[in-house]
């Protein structure tokens, strides 16, 4: 039978090699950004907010261009592209609205010895950041770290994914036209350009992509002691309880596995289900697929395509010749959705599929299912489906992953400011909201010690007096637990106390008397007494 060809507009990925930055110029570009950072131009909050405002309108004003580019780059359906763009707009707004609160000095409640001093944390910009995006989500993997980098007061280099050339061209054009060009640059290119970037000294690196490349980036960053945020994906399991709305779960699996043709890091990779439910689940998933799109599926613009031939060949090799569906088209990079019952040693279980195929594994006990998941690399997400909240909570307690959505799929990435990232082999560090900003700032801990506190800390000096020794002994922490095994379980949020309130007041009287005898500022005494009252209030 002749292969059915798509009647959709042909994809025409751009050739942007003329936008590649010459390798020998990359070091100078990074150096220029470091010189800008030294001027502290990016430090004022007003500058940061203005750049984020401009970034917002780059996306809103050119939404159609970005959606068209994603179709030509990877065959991404327009609806999926606009949903991704909308997520980015929400994230920028959330950051602008909350960044001053996140950046405000944070008072830290210290132990009683230092409760009269000022203890706080100040967020400081890191310097120059490198942000490397992914082809499958070329907007969110740029905007999520960019929001934190800009809000944090940093300069940045954006390295768009080479497999999303149309989006890369738009980033290059519109960031240059709209943002202050002294604090950022876009470096387009492939392996040589990326390698040269990694040879430079950065203060933070953000990367979204494969685990294999993530290891390369982490190794390069380690040479300069550069911290990284790596979002690397993984094989995300779906746990199906016997007490479940199976049709609801099937509908969401049918959507989640085929969004962007399954090329999303949060897509469910395999389903763990009781044997009694397998046939019904497979039938329901296939039914929902039949309701989602028109026929022939290859002509429905709401269904995505595989990004390029290498990815198509990798997926079909995992399937093997006998399982490649007749509708698949190498020319159109089209693979129809598939749900397959497999064994644990199936090639499809050997790696993240990253395509519109979901596997079904059967379990005899939930303990065995959990053990199987925990025996492999840690996934980015786990998805328990159950009408029993205790069963779902057990899955969350006993598995290790970066995120989860209970009784749904992939939705944990949608709430604004809800931090997102992996665990173990699926990555480390977090994107979005405060977490993203904190990744791109350092926490400077600041202790301000008034001179009169020498009376409480005099024991550190070689010529300490017996009174200093007595004060130091009084300040020694007393545990709320004992030597008895298990006694620490009873301890609440406060794990240490100093003494009782009466003793603290006695210390106050002694130190105030000594201070007045030596002479001093009564405003300092007031602040010190306020600290004493705070201590005694908690005793």
Q: What SS3 string covers 205-229?
A: EEEECCHHHHHHHHHHHHHCCCCEE
Hey, how many other C-beta atoms are within 10 angstroms of the C-beta on 245? Answer: 12
Distance between CA atoms of 25 and 164, rounded to whole angstroms? 23
Distance between CA atoms of 515 and 525, rounded to whole angstroms? 8
Distance between CA atoms of 303 and 138, rounded to whole angstroms? 18
Residue with tokens 């082999």: 425
Distance between CA atoms of 352 and 234, rounded to whole angstroms? 6
Classify residue 109 by burial, with Cβ atoms within 10 Å: 0-12, 13-18, 19+: exposed
Catalytic residue among 265, 267, 352, 359: 265
* In contact, 175 and 186? CB cutoff 8 Å: yes
Catalytic residue among 193, 231, 352, 419: 231
Distance between CA atoms of 94 and 98, rounded to whole angstroms? 6
3-state helix, strand, coil in the chain (%, to 5): 50, 15, 35
* In contact, 440 and 130? CB cutoff 8 Å: no
> Is residue 339 classed as helix, strand or coil in its secondary structure?
strand
- Catalytic status, residue 265: yes
Residues linked to residue 74 through DSSP beta bridges, in sequence order:
none
Distance between CA atoms of 111 and 88, rounded to whole angstroms? 41
Cis peptide before 296 (omega within 30 of 0): yes
The two structure tokens encoding residue 53: 């405002």
Best CA proximity match to 524, nearest among 502, 516, 119: 516
Length of the chain equals 539
* In contact, 236 and 266? CB cutoff 8 Å: yes
**DSSP string for 274-303:** -GGGHHHHHHHHHHHHHHHS-SSGGG-TTS
Residue with tokens 């490649």: 324
* In contact, 127 and 37? CB cutoff 8 Å: yes
Classify residue 367 by burial, with Cβ atoms within 10 Å: 0-12, 13-18, 19+: exposed
- Catalytic status, residue 359: no
What residues are annotated to the active site? 231, 265
């Amino acid at each position: 039978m002749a292969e059915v060809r798509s009647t959709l507009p042909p994809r025409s990925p751009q050739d942007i090699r003329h936008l590649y930055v010459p390798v020998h110029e990359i070091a100078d570009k990074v150096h220029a950004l470091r010189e800008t950072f030294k001027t502290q131009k990016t430090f004022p909050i007003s500058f940061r907010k203005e750049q984020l405002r401009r970034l917002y309108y780059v996306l809103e004003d050119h939404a159609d261009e970005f959606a068209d580019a994603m179709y030509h780059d990877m065959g991404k359906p327009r609806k999926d592209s606009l949903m991704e763009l909308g997520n980015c707009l929400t994230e920028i707004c959330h950051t602008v609205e909350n960044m001053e609160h996140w950046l405000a000095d944070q008072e830290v409640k210290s132990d009683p010895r230092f409760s009269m001093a000022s203890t706080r944390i100040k967020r400081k910009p890191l310097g120059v950041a490198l942000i490397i995006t992914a082809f499958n989500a070329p907007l969110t993997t740029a905007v999520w770290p960019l929001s934190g980098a800009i809000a944090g007061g940093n300069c940045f280099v954006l390295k768009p994914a080479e497999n999303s050339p149309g989006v890369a061209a738009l980033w290059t054009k519109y960031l240059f036209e709209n943002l202050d060009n002294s604090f950022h640059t876009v470096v387009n290119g492939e392996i040589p350009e990326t390698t040269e970037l990694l040879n430079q000294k950065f203060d933070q690196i953000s990367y979204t992509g494969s685990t294999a490349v993530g290891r390369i980036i982490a190794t390069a960053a380690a040479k300069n002691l550069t911290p990284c945020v790596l979002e690397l994906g993984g094989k995300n399991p779906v746990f199906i309880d016997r007490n479940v709305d199976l049709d609801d779960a099937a509908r969401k699996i049918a959507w989640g596995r085929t969004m962007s043709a399954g090329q999303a890091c949060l897509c469910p990779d395999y389903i763990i289900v009781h044997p009694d439910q397998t046939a019904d689940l497979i039938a329901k998933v296939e039914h929902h697929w039949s309701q989602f799109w028109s026929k022939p599926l290859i002509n429905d613009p709401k269904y995505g395509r595989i990004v390029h031939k290498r990815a198509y060949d990798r997926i079909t090799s995992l399937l093997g010749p006998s399982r490649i569906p007749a509708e698949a088209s190498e020319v159109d990079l089209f693979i129809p959705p598939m749900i397959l019952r497999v064994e644990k040693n199936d090639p499809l279980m050997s790696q993240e599929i990253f395509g519109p195929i979901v596997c079904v594994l059967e379990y005899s006990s939930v303990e065995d299912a959990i053990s199987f998941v925990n025996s492999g690399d840690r996934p980015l997400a786990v998805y328990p489906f159950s009408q029993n909240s205790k069963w779902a909570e057990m899955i969350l307690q006993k598995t290790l992953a970066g995120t989860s959505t209970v009784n749904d799929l992939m939705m944990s990435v949608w709430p604004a400011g809800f931090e997102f990232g992996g665990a173990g082999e699926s990555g480390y560090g977090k994107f979005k909201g405060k977490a993203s900003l904190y990744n791109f700032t350092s926490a400077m801990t600041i202790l301000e010690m008034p001179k009169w506190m020498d009376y409480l800390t005099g024991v550190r000096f070689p010529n300490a007096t017996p009174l200093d020794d007595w004060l130091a002994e009084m300040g020694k922490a007393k545990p709320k637990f004992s030597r008895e095994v298990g006694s620490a379980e009873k301890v609440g949020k406060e794990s240490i106390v100093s003494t009782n309130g009466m003793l603290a007041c006695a210390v106050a009287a002694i130190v105030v008397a000594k201070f007045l005898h030596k002479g001093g500022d009564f405003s300092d005494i007031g602040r010190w007494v306020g600290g004493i009252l705070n201590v005694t209030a908690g005793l």
